[in-house]
């Protein structure tokens, strides 16, 4: 890279609640998992509030003080339930993209940005989503719950930075939860929250969101403001 070349820019996207709206599958799988365990299903807001966490951390947030054996059984019930729903209804292949998401990914790719993913999904679920929608070619790297500690630990972002050689100050995490925002800030990256996902604006700001966007059309301008401040 010549001295005059601009620095590499990396955009790290969350998936559930940011790119695709998978809440029906998440809520359905959680309801089945709790029913299998003989427990009342958590409220919709509680379930969507833990989206982004890895499953063990999510279950502990839903039932504080639960012992590890019960937690692990509930995690397995959820995995089994989600797999069953995927076979019954198509899972991530049927989850709708938020308006403008696909166009934004293609637009940012054409503009020369490096794109990565950091998601609380398991590797199998992410692969299913990427392959079903033909998105694998767009991403230089993907981080899942199988590759690093749960959000808001910075591990996923740090792994993305190491894989691309991008400096943290030239990387932006785009996500819909306070866990995404806190993960970004812990890694030294920038943080842009989206308003259409599963956490409200106050939680995003509490997590460290520098900017909030209301649609994908506004993302380009938000990124330009972030880069100017980098």
Cβ–Cβ under 8 Å, residues 214 and 99: no
Q: How far apart are CA 155 and CA 167, in angstroms?
A: 15
pLDDT in tens, 152-189: 999 999 999 999 999 999 999 999 999 999 999 999 99
Q: Return the bridge partners of 191, or none.
A: 173
pLDDT in tens, 95-134: 899 999 999 999 999 999 999 999 999 898 899 999 988 9
Phi, psi torsion values for 109, nearest 5 degrees: -65, -45
**Does position 4 have pLDDT exceeding 60, yes or no?**
no
Q: How far apart are CA 195 and CA 213, in angstroms?
A: 6
pLDDT in tens, 42-58: 999 999 999 999 999 99
* 3 state SS of 143: strand
pLDDT averaged over every residue in the chain: 93
pLDDT in tens, 182-217: 999 999 999 999 999 999 999 999 999 999 999 999
Rounded to 10 deg, the angle between the 178-187 and 155-164 helix axes is: 50
Q: Return the bridge partners of 118, or none.
A: 143
Burial class (CB in 10 A: 0-12, 13-18, 19+), 110: exposed
């Amino acid at each position: 890279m010549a001295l005059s070349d601009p620095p590499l820019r990396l955009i790290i996207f969350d998936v559930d609640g940011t790119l695709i709206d998978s809440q029906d599958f998440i809520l359905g799988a959680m309801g089945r998992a709790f029913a299998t365990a003989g427990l009342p299903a958590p409220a919709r807001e509680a379930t969507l509030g833990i989206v982004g966490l890895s499953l063990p951390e999510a279950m502990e947030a839903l039932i504080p003080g639960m012992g590890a054996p019960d937690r692990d059984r509930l995690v397995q019930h959820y995995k089994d339930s989600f797999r069953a729903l995927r076979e019954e209804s198509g899972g991530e292949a049927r989850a709708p993209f938020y308006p403008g998401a696909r166009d934004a990914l293609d637009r940012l790719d054409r503009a020369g940005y490096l794109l990565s993913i950091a998601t609380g999904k398991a590797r199998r679920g992410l692969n299913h989503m990427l392959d079903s929608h033909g998105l694998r070619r767009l991403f230089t790297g993907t981080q899942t719950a199988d590759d690093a500690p749960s959000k808001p630990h910075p591990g996923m972002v740090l792994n993305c930075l190491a894989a691309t050689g991008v400096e943290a100050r030239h990387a932006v995490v785009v996500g819909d939860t306070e866990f995404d925002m806190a993960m970004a800030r812990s890694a030294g990256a920038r943080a842009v929250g989206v308003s259409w996902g599963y956490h409200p604006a106050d939680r995003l700001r509490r997590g460290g969101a520098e900017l909030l966007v209301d649609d994908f059309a506004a993302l380009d301008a938000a990124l330009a403001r972030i880069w100017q401040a980098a």
